[in-house]
Amino acid sequence: MKIAVGQFAVTPHWQKNALTCVEMMAKAAKQGADLLVLPEALLAREDSDPDLSVKSAQTLDGEYIRILREESRKNALTTLLTVHVPTTSGRAANTLLALKCGKIIARYEKLHLYDAFSVQESRCVDAGETVPPLIEVAGMKVGLMTCYDLRFPELALSLALAGAEVLALPAAWVRGPHKEHHWATLLAARALDTTCYLAAAGECGNKNIGHSRIVDPFGITIAAAAEEPEMIFAEISSQRVAQVRERLPVLKNRRFAPPSLL
Q: What is the tens place of the pLDDT at every residue in 149-182?
A: 999 999 999 999 999 999 999 999 999 999 999 9
3-state helix, strand, coil in the chain (%, to 5): 30, 30, 40
E strands, the chain, in order:
2-7, 35-37, 78-86, 92-100, 103-109, 115-116, 119-120, 134-137, 140-144, 166-171, 197-202, 213-215, 221-224, 230-235
Report the pLDDT value the prediction gives residue 256, as an integer from 0 to 100. Answer: 84
Report the pLDDT value the prediction gives residue 62, as an integer from 0 to 100. Answer: 97
| All structural domains of the chain with their residue ranges | 2-246
Report the pLDDT value the prediction gives residue 6, as an integer from 0 to 100. Answer: 98
CA 247 to chain centre: 28
Active-site residue, from 21, 124, 147, 196: 147
In the residue annotation, 228 being an active-site residue is answered as: no
**Are 180 and 209 contacting, i.e. CB atoms less than 8 angstroms apart?**
yes
Distances (CA, A) of 167 to 174, 195, 225: 20, 10, 18
59 DSSP assignment? -
User: Which amino acid appears at position 163 of this protein?
Assistant: G
**Are 110 and 93 contacting, i.e. CB atoms less than 8 angstroms apart?**
yes
> Given a cut of 70, is residue 131 above it in pLDDT?
yes
Q: Percentage of the chain surpassing pLDDT 90?
A: 96
Q: Quick check: helix, strand or coil at residue 119? A: strand
The more confidently predicted of residues 258 and 113 is 113
> Given a cut of 70, is residue 262 above it in pLDDT?
no
In the residue annotation, 147 being an active-site residue is answered as: yes
> Given a cut of 70, is residue 59 above it in pLDDT?
yes
Active-site residue, from 100, 109, 110, 196: 110
> Given a cut of 80, is residue 196 above it in pLDDT?
yes
CATH class of 2-246: alpha beta
Reference 81, options 139, 115, 35, 114; nearest CA is 35
**pLDDT 10s digits, 201-246:** 999 999 999 999 999 999 999 999 999 999 999 999 999 999 999 9
**pLDDT 10s digits, 65-118:** 999 999 999 999 999 999 999 999 999 999 999 999 999 999 999 999 999 999
User: How many residues belong to the chain?
Assistant: 262
Active-site residue, from 21, 40, 196, 204: 40
> Given a cut of 90, is residue 260 above it in pLDDT?
no
Distances (CA, A) of 24 to 18, 115, 165, 166, 172: 10, 30, 24, 21, 17
Rounded Cα–Cα distance for residues 22 and 31 (Å): 14
In the residue annotation, 40 being an active-site residue is answered as: yes
